[in-house]
Structures are given as structure tokens and as C-alpha cells.
Structure 1
Amino acid sequence: MNRIPSKIKITSVIVASLFFGLMGMKDGVAQETLNLDDAIRIGLERNFAIRIAENNTRISENNNSLGNAGFLPVISADGAINKRIEDNETRYGSGAPIPDRNDEGAETTVYNYGVNASWRIFDGLTMFATLDRLSTLSEISEVEARNRVELVLADIITGYYEIAGQQKAAQVLENTVEISEERIRIAETARDLGSGSEYELLLARADMNTDQAALIRTKTNLNQLKVLLTTILGDTTEAAFTVQPEIELAGKLSLENMIAEAVAQNRELTIARLTEQAAEAEIRELRGDWFPQVDVSGGYAYSRTEASTGFSEFSQSQGFRYGISASVNLFDGFNKQRRQENARIALKNEQLRRQDLELQVRANVSRVYAQYDDALSLIELEEENLEINKQTVEIALERFELGTINSIELREAQQSLLNAENRLIEAQITAKSAEIELLRLSGRLLSQIE
């Protein structure tokens, strides 16, 4: 008479745990829920790599100027006051009509100031090529910043859904431990009443220890994933949060479209193309070495000298000056040829890097898409397996109530359901991670968020 209530009780525990707890319905310690939009917002504001990339972009923008390219004149002003105090002794030859002099502490003061300007008006069009190169470098910096943002976004989204999956796995194991504890209680009661054996009790305890160890490992992994995410978000002080358990996938992606978009707008490929343009601009810069350089200059100068001794008290000059000059390098030990040849080789290397990178991007898209497609197939299969295992547990529960199977067989059915749930979670995370990587490779991830 005592076994019937025990069966009914464990049946209630199993049904409530498996069909509600396994689906993430169980409440644990109250924690703040971090949704994905907030995680992205915090990451974009605080992530250190993004902030560094933004600063580098500002540096490139500052460098992209007419003055840095050599278009503008250079204007300087200078001034000086120099004073001398010295003893002068002058002796003239015998018969000279001028008496000898002996001046002690004679002071001489010299004042100089002026404004000077120089402007290179022709340098073989080097300044235009330099401006093109600086503009390209500024654009490269902007694309690098967007690439960094996309990398961080991919890490945030992937890390978020990994936490969601690990959170579900922890809930599954918490429910498993509760069921194992109930099995132990029933086994102890059955042994005390003489209807059970010590062997079944030991098996139940071993199963609970296994479940508890798995739960500890899962919670450790969950905390580590939270620390990794908060590190990406730029703040590791608070990891006591939960995430939304749903793992949502976008519509089915097309391999052909992904490859075409990746070749056209992948950030790294864009940087490679721009780097190639910068190398071409550098060649144009070096061509200016073969042309003369023409400078115009002008200025205003003032000079005054005051002396306490001598024939004059002061002398003074002031006025404007201007002029034009030209210079050309006729021979420099073949260094001009060497620099141009090296620049052409560097351009060829950039072209080869761009071709190699395009091949790698195509291969990466194909490789990740295969993982994505397989994961979608696995999701469909594991969802079917999950339904089958749910039905199997229902049948096992009915037979357990009738006494036709023991707790070990019930445990096997329960474990099969848990494994099916974990495989489904793993397939969903794999599919979502591959989806995010495909969007990043194709250059669409940032536009999706915006």
C-alpha cells in the first residue's frame, strides 16, 4: 500500500520537471535579465577595441588634410634681442691723427625680428598623389573601425546565445538532480519496507552524484561564458544576470547570395582593395622625384644695432623680400629608380594579397554555410527526436505506475529525453553561430543591427 503513493509522487515530479523545467520554465534565483539589444548597446558604447578603432579613425581623419599633403605654405615668425658687454682697446700707429681708445664696459644691443613664408607651387604633382593616398588611408581606417564593430557584434551575439544554451542545459540538469533525489527517497523507503534492495539505492545515489557533478561543470561553464561576455561588453564587475532563453534564427540564407555579397562588401576585402589603391598613389608620389621643385618665398625683416661706443650710436634696416627658386635632382645614386621599383613590387604584393584574401573569403563562406546547413538539418531531426523521447517518457511513466519497469529503465528513458534536449540546444547554437558568421563575412551584420 505504501508503493502506490510513492509512484504517484515521483510521476508528478517527473512530469512537472521534464515538461516544464526542461523548456526553461523553472524559476531559480532572481537575477536581472539581459536582453540582446541591451548587450549590443552596452558593447558598442564600452568595448575597448571599438573605442580604440574610433580613435584611430580620428587620427586618420586629422592626417587627411591639405597641409599634410603639402598644398599650403609654411609661415614662420622669429625675433631676437642680443646684448654684449665688453672691453675694447684700440691703438693706432704712430703719427695717426686718431687717438687711441680704451672703452670699458661697452654695450652693444642687436634687435632682429621678421616674418618668412615659403610655398612649394610645383613638385611634380606629388602633393596631389599624397592627398589621394591620405584620403585612401582615412577610408581604410573607417572600414577597419566598421570591421572591428562587426567582429565585436559577432562575439556579443554568439556569446549571448551560448549563454542561453548553457542556461538551458543547467536548467535541464537541475531538474535531473531533483528527480534523482526523489528516486533516492523512494529507494530508501522501499528498502526500509523490504520491497527494495540496497543495490537499487546505491544505483540511485550514483546517478544523483553523476547529475550533480554534471550540474557543477555546467554552472562553471555558464559563469565563464558570462565573464567572457561582460569582458567584451567592457565591464566584468557584474556577471549575475540571465539571458532570454529563445534562440531565434533568421530566414534561410542562400549560399550563392552569401558568396556574391562577401566578394562585393566583405570588410577585409574592402580594406585590401583600398590598400591596393594606396600603393598605386604611392607610385604616383614617387614619380614627382623626376620633376623640378619650384618654391616661392617672401618675408619682412627688421634689424637694429645700438652701440654705446664707436662712430655711430645705432644702425637700422627693414624691408620686404621675395623670390622664386627651382631645383631638380639630376643624380642620386639611382635611388629614385630603386624606390619606384620597390613601390611597384609592393603594389604587386597587395594585388596578390587581395586575390588570396578573396579566395579565402569564398572558402570561408562555403565552409561556414556547410556547417549552417547541417545544423538546420540537425535542428529539424532533433526536434522530431525530442517529440519521440517525450512520448517514450510518457509510456515509461505509465509502465512505472503499473510496476512493469523499474527505476533504472525509467532513468534510461529520462536520460534519453535530456540528451535529445541537449542535442537540440547544441544544434540551435551551432546554426545561430554559423548564421552570424555568414552575415559578418558578407558584410551584412552591421546593417542588420542598424
Structure 2
Amino acid sequence: MRYSVLCAAICLFGAVRQPAAAQNGNALTLARAIDIGLKNNYDLQVGELQTRTSVVNNTWGAAGLYPSVAVGASANFSRTMPQGSDAEDYSTLSVQPSLELSWTLFGGFRVWRTKAKLDAAQEQAEGSQTVLIENTVRSIISAYYQAVLESEKVTIAQQLMDASMDRFRREQHAADLGVVRNLELLQAKNAWLQDRASYLSQKNNYEDARRQLGFLLAVERGGDWTLTDSIPAIDERLDPAELHRIAQSDNASIRKQYAAIRLRAEETLVARSDYYPSLNVGVGAGYAYNRAAGIDNRQIQPYVSAKISFNIFNGSQRRRAVRVAQINHEIEKLSLEDMKLSVSYDVDKQYDAFLLRRELVGLREEQLATTELSLRIAEQKFASGTLSQFDFRDVQISYFNAAVDLLSARYDLVMAHVDLLLTTGMLLRETD
């Protein structure tokens, strides 16, 4: 069943593996649009930097494994001026550089638990980035096919406008010959004006869709592209039980939530480490130089220290910290169960929507075929004079509306399929 879902995804995103020649010039495939968006999108760049922060923080040094080394120095100069007549002035100079190494050999397993916590934090950050990438890819797919849809609507609107213009010209020519009445001419002109307005409005919708696509791809002024991919036809048979199984294991938000649970669990263990004693050792050396009353004194002072400490009571702060961490852990576990239930309902909802939209595509195809046949018959009757302008206009509009409805139904079906892939966690895999 998983391979059946994969086949459906490959049908949808077959353009991802287009040859390089298809990406030359101004041709913009869906694959190229996704590639540009993943490189340029500002939200993804910010998310990448935030993820990189968690990677930088995830080191053994940040966890406290390594010792710390400190160097320092102090200097003091003083001058003594006695008030007695027989005493002489004298000065004192003291210079004391030092080098110290301190190391916590044991801190209640805090180092290893802190490192595990940093691992979980990095995994959670990467999960957030994955969710962001998925949503961005979904938005790019939607914007790309929306622009394709609006472009097809422009073509249909232009065809309707051209047909109305041809009819208006024929009526105008017939009126000049005195064959057509003024009312028929005015009706033909009104139809052309209406179709012209619809065409101009649709062109504006197409430009808005292109601008939205350009914004998602973070390019200047939307780019001068020719959209080469068309809205694909999808007719797959999916098993809802298999979709549920895949979603519960591969959904990006669920996997991110598992990382959050692990993070809270490690925070609890870190809080528990305060119940253990800690052992610290230190090694250092100091050098002292003193000069007083013209007499030099030099000393080297090495030392080794060890300290073991155990906090017996600190106002129940340790217990409160552990309890808070446990509560946060339980909250994340409950959030996971809520998320699993939500994903399960989303799969059912999106699967039902997929079935409905697939059936609607079939109905729209049949409707278009019916209206196309009606238009052909109406053209013959209108040419023979047995059909009025009003009735012919109604048939003509019905045909073009059916063509638009079919395009919209195919777009809705594609996006229902994309949402299924997104929920099951397979969207990034299938867009390579």
C-alpha cells in the first residue's frame, strides 16, 4: 500500500526529476520552483539559522565535561613616607600572576544528562525546521498550480471574449446591411463588453497569482517565467488504514513532539542530579614578586585542591525543580496524544475530501462533455436562425463555466492529495 501512495506522489511530482534542459531560460517547472523557494525563502533561512544555533550549543563543552582554565595577575604599588626625622621613605611593589585549572569530576551525572538534553533540543529544532520546510513546499505547490489555474482561466476567458467579438462583428456587419435589428446588435455588443471585462479581471487574477508565487520564492518582481507544468490528473486508490499507519509514524509534527517529550524527560534527569554529591578538583600555581625597601622576594606557590559537597537542604528547591520538570513531561505526553488524535481525524477528513474531489472531477468532465455537445448543437441552430441570441448566450456561458469548473476541480483534487502527503509525512520525500 505504501508503494501505491508513492505512485500517487510520483504522478503528482513527476516534474521533480525533469532533465536539466527543462530548467533553462524562462521555463519554470514545479521542481524548479520548489528548488528556488527552498534556497531563497526568508522564513526558511531564519529557521535554518535557528537550527544552527541548537547545533552550535550541542557540544560536550556546553554540557560541562571539560575543565576550565583561568589565568590572572594582580599588581600593587605603595609608598610609605614616615613622619619621623630619622626614617626614610620606602616603596613596596607586588606582582602576582596565577594559573588555575578547575574540574568537576562528578556532578550527579549532570554532564551526560545535559548532553542528552542538548541532543533532544537539537532534534526538536530540526523537527521544527522540517515542519517549516513542509509547509513552505506545500505553499509553493499551491501557489504554482494556482498560477497555472489562473492562466488556464485567462485562456478560457479569452476564447469566450473572442467568440463574443466575432459575433458582435457579424451583427455589426449585418446591421450595416440592414439585416439585423438594433436590439440584437446591442445584445451582441453587451455580451462582448461583459466578456471583455471578465477577461481583464481574470488577467489581473493571474498576475496576482504570479506575484504570490514570486513572493514565496523570494525573487524580485515575481520573475519573467513561463509555467510549463499543467495541473495533473490523479486517479489513485488509497487504503485509509495504511494512511493512518504511515501518518502515526512519519508525520513531522508527531516526530517533533517525540523530541519534545525526550527533552522534558532529560530536563527531569538534570533536575534530579542535584540530589547527588559533587566532586571538584583544582590545580594551580601562583608566582609572587615583592620588592620592599630595596629587597626582592620571589615565590612560586603551586597547589592542589579537592572539594566534595552535598546539599542536604535548600528550601525544597530541588524537589520543586524535579516536580515542575515532571509536570512539563506529562504535558508534552498529553500533547502527543492530542496530536495523534488530531492527525487521525485529519487523515479521515482529507481522505474523504480526496474521494469527494476525485468524484467531482469525474462529474465535471462529464459536465464539460455534455455542455460541449450542447454548444455544437446550439451553434448549428443559431447559424440556421432557429435559436435566439439569448439562448445561444446561455449555452455558450454554460460551456465555458463547465471548463472553468473542471480546472478548479482538478486543482482541488491535487491539493487534497498534497494535504494527504503532508499529513502522512511523505511530502518532502516525494518532492526529493
Task: Give the structure-2-normalised TM-score.
Answer: 0.90
**Residue in structure 2 matching 1:404, options 370, 382, 386:** 386
The CA distance in 2 between the partners of 1:171 and 1:401, in whole Å, is 25
**1:328-384 Cα deviation digits (max 9, x unpaired):** 111111111111111111111111111111111111121122221111101111111
The CA distance in 1 between the partners of 2:233 and 2:94, in whole Å, is 82
The CA distance in 1 between the partners of 2:287 and 2:317, in whole Å, is 42
* TM-aligned CA deviation for residue 192 of structure 1: 2.7
**Residue in structure 2 matching 1:35, options 29, 36, 46:** 29
The CA distance in 2 between the partners of 1:440 and 1:170, in whole Å, is 30
* TM-aligned CA deviation for residue 276 of structure 1: 0.7
Which range moves more in the overlay, 364-373 or 439-448?
364-373
Does 2:252 correspond to 1:267?
yes
Superposition pairs for residues 226-375 of structure 1, below 5 Å?
Answer: 226-244=210-228, 246-250=230-234, 251-307=236-292, 309=293, 313-375=295-357
**Residue in structure 1 matching 2:187, options 179, 188, 203:** 203
Amino acid at match of 1:404: T
Give the match for residue 100 of structure 1: 86
The CA distance in 1 between the partners of 2:167 and 2:229, in whole Å, is 29
Give SS of 1:102's match: coil
Give the match for residue 78 of structure 1: 72
Superposition pairs for residues 49-60 of structure 1, below 5 Å?
Answer: 49-60=43-54
Give the match for residue 111 of structure 2: 127
Contact 2:75 2:96 in 1 (8 A): yes
Q: Which runs of 5+ in 2 are unaligned?
A: 1-24
**1:202-236 Cα deviation digits (max 9, x unpaired):** 22222222222222222222111111111111114
1:249–1:146 distance in 2 versus 1, CA, 3 Å: farther
Amino acid at match of 2:142: T
**1:315-334 Cα deviation digits (max 9, x unpaired):** 11113211110111111111
The CA distance in 1 between the partners of 2:229 and 2:44, in whole Å, is 28
Which range moves more in the overlay, 399-408 or 123-132?
399-408
Give the match for residue 194 of structure 1: 178
**1:239-274 Cα deviation digits (max 9, x unpaired):** 443312521145443322222111111111111111
Which range moves more in the overlay, 163-172 or 389-398?
389-398
Contact 2:113 2:269 in 1 (8 A): yes
The CA distance in 1 between the partners of 2:133 and 2:61, in whole Å, is 31
The CA distance in 1 between the partners of 2:229 and 2:104, in whole Å, is 66
Give the match for residue 5 of structure 1: none
**Residue in structure 2 matching 1:66, options 60, 70, 85:** 60
The CA distance in 2 between the partners of 1:197 and 1:313, in whole Å, is 129
1:90–1:327 distance in 2 versus 1, CA, 3 Å: farther
1:100–1:112 distance in 2 versus 1, CA, 3 Å: same
Give the match for residue 167 of structure 1: 151
Give the match for residue 141 of structure 2: 157
The CA distance in 2 between the partners of 1:245 and 1:278, in whole Å, is 43
Contact 2:210 2:222 in 1 (8 A): no
The CA distance in 2 between the partners of 1:339 and 1:324, in whole Å, is 28
The CA distance in 2 between the partners of 1:113 and 1:149, in whole Å, is 54
Q: Percent identity?
A: 25
The CA distance in 2 between the partners of 1:243 and 1:306, in whole Å, is 85
Give the match for residue 18 of structure 1: none
The CA distance in 1 between the partners of 2:389 and 2:211, in whole Å, is 39
* TM-aligned CA deviation for residue 67 of structure 1: 1.1
Give the match for residue 6 of structure 1: none
Contact 1:54 1:145 in 2 (8 A): yes
Which range moves more in the overlay, 239-248 or 422-431?
239-248
Does 2:412 correspond to 1:418?
no
The CA distance in 2 between the partners of 1:279 and 1:433, in whole Å, is 36
Contact 1:69 1:130 in 2 (8 A): yes
The CA distance in 1 between the partners of 2:421 and 2:55, in whole Å, is 28
The CA distance in 1 between the partners of 2:76 and 2:219, in whole Å, is 60
Instruction: Mark the structure with the bigger radius of gyration.
Output: 1
Aligned residue-pair number: 407
The CA distance in 2 between the partners of 1:238 and 1:156, in whole Å, is 13
1:365–1:236 distance in 2 versus 1, CA, 3 Å: farther
The CA distance in 2 between the partners of 1:252 and 1:34, in whole Å, is 30
Contact 1:167 1:245 in 2 (8 A): no
Amino acid at match of 1:329: N
Give the match for residue 15 of structure 1: none
* TM-aligned CA deviation for residue 303 of structure 1: 1.2
Amino acid at match of 1:259: H
The CA distance in 2 between the partners of 1:416 and 1:244, in whole Å, is 28
Q: CA RMSD in A?
A: 1.8
Give SS of 1:237's match: helix
Contact 2:30 2:229 in 1 (8 A): no
* TM-aligned CA deviation for residue 152 of structure 1: 0.8
Contact 1:183 1:407 in 2 (8 A): no
* TM-aligned CA deviation for residue 32 of structure 1: 3.5
Amino acid at match of 2:99: V
Amino acid at match of 1:121: L
Give SS of 2:81's match: strand
